[in-house]
């Protein structure tokens, strides 16, 4: 698989990342399905592994850490990314609401918890998961600087941030934010229109694309959708994907990933299947070369109308 440098860092990443959200929906799954998925991704050439402290209520990080404890040498073949900032209702007290927390205390504590579960000394890429309405950028940067000084984190980024929120944090941060992880797919085009991808190109921030297949709607079918994804209308997109995928000799989901890879912002789609054959098949996207005409036919199908 080809590689890309993440933002202004020195971190080289595979053009597709592997997303660990679903590798440990249960503890047993983490030991079996999750382990097989991780090893399949490594064998297929994925080097960037995407986590968050909340995935599987921390089971995903723990399952990944178990694989590294079993085979420590694998650490040399991967970049490990994880996220913090989402806090569930009922923690630490029963009356606490679901919320986001970018306090320095929480960022540092969450990072140390992830390091333990992942069985590593350093996280390559640490991200803020969803914007905290009470974010004090200077407090966030103080936490970042402490974690970097202690050797616990190499680089930092954000997730689900609007361009203005990225700019606010970057203004206070003395080192570059290297990624913004956002939902983007043929079924969800907001980032093409709200300035996110423009900012990524202008500031050399790598966009990581979560749910690049719209929860599976653009591939063989959705297994579990987020609430708003239930309303995605993909019939016209799937029809055009099928027509073009046949000419390329690939699955429609692979072509949908290639559509994202063509964008000059350097989008890195995050593949989330736990099935080894699908993890391997997705890597074919890196070899496809869509013409501008093919790319725009898919965009038109996604928009449901011709461009103005």
According to DSSP, the β-strands at 123-128 and 12-14 are unpaired
Tell me the sheet residues that pair with 14.
3
What distance in Å separates the CA atoms of residue 298 and residue 96, rounded to the nearest whole number? Answer: 45
Angle 112-118-120 from CA coordinates, rounded to 5°: 75
| Spatial contact of 24 and 30, defined as CB atoms under 8 Å apart | yes
What distance in Å separates the CA atoms of residue 213 and residue 46, rounded to the nearest whole number? Answer: 18
Q: How many helices (H) and strands (E) does the chain have?
A: 12, 12
Options 55, 100, 126, 232, the catalytic residue:
55
Q: Provide the terminal-to-terminal Cα distance of the chain, rounded to the nearest Å.
A: 37
| Catalytic-residue membership of 296 | no
Scored b (16 or more CB within 10 A) or e, 78-114 reads bbbbbbbbbbeeeeeeeeeeeebbbbbebbbebbeeb
Q: Which positions are catalytic?
A: 55
């Amino acid at each position: 698989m080809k590689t890309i440098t993440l933002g202004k860092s020195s971190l080289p990443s595979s053009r597709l990342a592997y997303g660990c959200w679903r590798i440990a929906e249960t503890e047993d799954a983490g030991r079996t399905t999750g382990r097989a998925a991780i090893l399949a991704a490594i064998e297929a050439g994925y080097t960037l592994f995407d986590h968050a402290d909340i995935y599987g209520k921390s089971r995903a990080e723990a399952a990944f850490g178990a694989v590294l404890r079993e085979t420590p040498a694998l650490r040399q073949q991967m970049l490990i990314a994880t996220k913090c900032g989402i806090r569930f209702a009922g923690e630490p007290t029963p009356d606490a609401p679901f919320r986001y927390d970018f306090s320095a205390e929480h960022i540092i504590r969450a990072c140390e918890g992830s390091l333990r579960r992942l069985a590593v000394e350093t996280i390559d890429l640490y991200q803020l998961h969803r914007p905290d309405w009470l974010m004090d950028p200077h407090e966030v940067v103080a936490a970042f600087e402490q974690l970097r000084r202690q050797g616990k984190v190499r680089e930092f980024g954000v997730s689900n941030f609007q361009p203005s929120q990225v700019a606010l944090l970057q203004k206070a941060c003395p080192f570059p934010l290297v990624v913004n992880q956002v939902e983007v797919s043929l079924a969800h085009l907001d980032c093409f229109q709200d300035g996110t991808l423009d900012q990524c190109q202008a500031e050399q921030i790598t966009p990581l694309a979560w749910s690049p297949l719209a929860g599976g709607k653009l591939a063989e079918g959705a297994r579990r959708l987020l609430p708003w994804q239930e309303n995605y209308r993909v019939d016209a997109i799937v029809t055009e994907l099928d027509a073009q995928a046949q000419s390329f000799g690939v699955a429609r989901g692979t072509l949908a990933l290639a559509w994202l890879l063509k964008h000059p912002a350097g989008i890195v789609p995050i593949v989330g299947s736990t099935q080894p054959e699908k993890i391997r098949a997705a890597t074919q996207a890196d070899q496809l070369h869509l013409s501008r005409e093919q790319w725009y036919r898919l965009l038109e199908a996604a928009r449901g109308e011709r461009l103005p």
